[in-house]
Amino acid sequence: MNVLAQRRFLKMNGLGNEITVLDLRGTRLRVEADDARAIAAQPGARFDQLMVLHDACTPGTDAFIRIYNTDGSEAGACGNGTRCVVWAMMADPVMGDPSRTSLTLETKAGILPARRDSDLVFTVDMGVPKLAWNEIPLADPFHDTSRFELQIGPIDDPILHTPCAVNMGNPHAVFFVDDPCAYNLEQIGPLLESHPIFPDRANIELASVKAPDHIVLRVWERGAGITRACGSGACAALVAAVRRELSERKAIVSLPGGDLTIEWRERDDHVLMTGPVEFEHEGVLEAGWFEAAA
């Protein structure tokens, strides 16, 4: 029997970004790529990102989170998933502490302070964006990552071209367009995600700046595909728009699943993400899920 069988999980979402939360604190258990794919294959536990809680690694933090995409690959950050974890650690009857109004979490990408703004709305400090070509990373040394050479389609009439690159825990390439819905993201997304310019693959964003304080966004997430919302993608879009002098440092980012408030704080360069979460149901991981996937 798989060692994860019968472990309790929470099924949640952040603006329709499907999140499963699994608490492995107090154990030495780890989720392997095959385990993540097996869980994602089940309708009741299906996720865009699986947020797995482990005991804290760094003094002063409350938990370490490993993040898995649908294909079993690991992500460095997930803003919507982090908000779901914060809710779980404050409000869930089993793993929550209702006296808490703030937490400090850690992922592969770094330390993420978070606070509760209301019962279902939370703010996560997503940290300082990485903008250098080798931090994103890109395969070639572009001096200006706010506009780097990449296009898809005919050379003389490309479908998309000249994105802005940002790392918000994950690599992102933000293309500015008039209408994000006018593009076949199902076809374009996989090609761009795995383009040789991105050695670690990349999330692909189609962004339209409607006003200095309003951006409309669609996202193809590496390892997960099209999602209804992407917190790190919304952060990347705001940072990219500011770098292009298209928006203010605080804006509403509208995704298919709803709105996030994103602020790129001038005093310390940190990016703050504010938005809601929704609890759907709880369940247990069944042994048969892992056996069927073996």
Please state the φ and ψ torsions of residue 180, each to the nearest 5 degrees: -60, -25
Kind and range of the H or E run holding 11 = strand 8-14
- Which residue's structure tokens are 């949640």? 12
Determine which one of 84, 164, 230, 235 is catalytic.
230
Strand pairing category for 164-167 and 160-161 = unpaired
Please state the φ and ψ torsions of residue 287, each to the nearest 5 degrees: -55, -40
Is 164 considered catalytic here? no
Kind and range of the H or E run holding 38 = helix 33-40
66-81: string of b/e by CB count within 10 Å (b at 16+)? bbbbbebbbbbbbbbb
Is 78 considered catalytic here? yes
Which tokens hold the place of 245? Answer: 């002098």
Cis amide prior to 137 (ω within 30 degrees)? yes
Determine which one of 78, 84, 164, 235 is catalytic.
78
Q: How far is CA 107 from CA 54, 66, 110, in A?
A: 10, 6, 5
Question: Position 243: which residue type?
Answer: R
Residues with catalytic annotation? 78, 230
